[in-house]
Amino acid sequence: MFSKQIDRRIARYQNDLIKTHYDEVENMYRQMRGWRHDYRNHIQVMKVYAAKGDMEAIKAYLDKLDTDLSTVDTVVKTGNPMADAILNSKISLARSKHIEVKADAHVPYKLTTSEIDLCVIIGNLFDNAIEASLALPENERLIRVYMDMKNTQLYISVTNFTAGKKLIKHDGRFASTKGQGHGFGLVRTDNVIKRLNGYISRNSEDGAFTTEILLPQGENSSPENGNSSPK
C-alpha cells in the first residue's frame, strides 16, 4: 500500500515536471513569435531614420534589436532538437533568476534515450542546481553544464556553486535541500538511470556540487557490456 502511494506521488511529480518543462519551452517560443510579429514595425522605424539620413539613430536602434534578440534566441545548439529544447528552456529560467550558466554540449541527433527520460534527467539536474544557486548572492551564482559522447555513452555533468560547507550523505544519499517530504526528483532520476543501465555519481566539495551521469546508447547497453564510472 505504501509502495503504491510512493509510486503515485513519483508519477505525479514526473507529470508536473514534464508540464513545467513544456510550459518553459512554450514561453520561449512565445517570446520568439512576439519578436517576429514586431519585425515589420522595426523595419518601418529604420526606414524613417534612413529617409532622414540619421545613421547614428539606425545604429543605436540596431544595437537595441541585437540585445533584444539575444534574450530569445537559442543559447545552446547541441545537435539534438530535444536536448536543445530542454537545455535552452532551463537556461532561460536560470538567467531569469540572475544565475549565470556556462554550457558546452554536443549531443547526437538521434539518441536511444527517450525524450521523456532525457527531460526528467536534465530537468531535475537543472532544477536542483537552480534551487541551490538561489541561496547565493547574485554575483556568485553559476551553473556549469557539459554534455558529450564518451564512446557509446552520453555523458552529462552539471556543477553548481553552493552555500555552506560540504554536504553529508545519509544512508548513501544526499538529502534534498527542500526538507522532509521532498526529494522525489532525486528518486525519479535515480530510477530512470537505473532502468537505462546508466551510471550516476554525486559529489559535494566545499563550495560546489557536481552530478555526473553516463547513459548507454545503442543495443549493447547492459551493465555487463562495459558501463563504468567516468574517467
> CATH no. for residue 155?
3.30.565.10
Higher-pLDDT residue of 210 and 3 is 210
Q: In total, how many domains does the chain have? A: 2
Please tell me whether residues 215 and 186 are part of one structural domain.
yes
Residue 224 has pLDDT above 80, yes or no: no
Mean pLDDT is lowest, of 110-114, 126-130, 224-228, for 224-228
The DSSP bridge partners found for residue 155 are 148, 214
Residue 28 neighbours by CB distance under 10 Å: 20
CA distances to 81, 160, 187, 204 from 214, in Å? 20, 19, 17, 18
Q: Is residue 86 part of a domain?
A: yes
Q: Residues 201-222, buried b or exposed e (16+ Cβ, 10 A)? A: ebeeeeeebebbbbbbbeeebe
Question: Which of 28-37, 53-62, 87-96, 193-202 shows the lowest mean pLDDT across its residues?
Answer: 28-37
pLDDT over 90 (residue 216): yes
Range 99-108 average pLDDT: 90
pLDDT > 70? residue 75 = no
Residue 40 CB neighbours (<10 A): 8
Q: Mean pLDDT across the stretch 191-210?
A: 90
pLDDT over 60 at 169, yes or no? no
Per-residue confidence (pLDDT) for residue 194, from 0 to 100: 93
* Same-domain status, 66 and 88: no
What is the reported pLDDT for 211?
Answer: 94
Question: Cβ contacts of residue 127 below 8 Å, gap of 6+?
Answer: 17, 90, 185
Given the DSSP bridges, would you call strands 142-150 and 100-105 parallel, antiparallel or unpaired?
A: parallel
49 located within any domain: yes
What confidence score (pLDDT) does residue 228 get?
Answer: 41
pLDDT of 182: 43
Q: Shortest CA distance to 200 belongs to which of 208, 191, 129?
A: 191
- Percent of all residues in the chain with a pLDDT value above 70, rounded to a whole number: 65
Name the average pLDDT for the chain: 77
Please state the rounded mean pLDDT for residues 62-67: 78
Please indicate, yes or no, if residue 231 is contained in any of the structural domains. Answer: no
Neighbours of 114 (CB within 10 A): 12
Q: Which residues span the domain enclosing 42?
A: 38-73
- Assign 200 a pLDDT band (cuts: 50, 70, 90): very high
What's the pLDDT at 226?
A: 40
Q: What percentage of the chain exceeds 90 in pLDDT?
A: 27
Q: How far apart are CA 207 and CA 186, in angstroms?
A: 20
230 is a domain residue: no
Q: What is the mean pLDDT of residues 24-52?
A: 75
Backbone angles phi, psi at 108, to 5 degrees: -60, 150
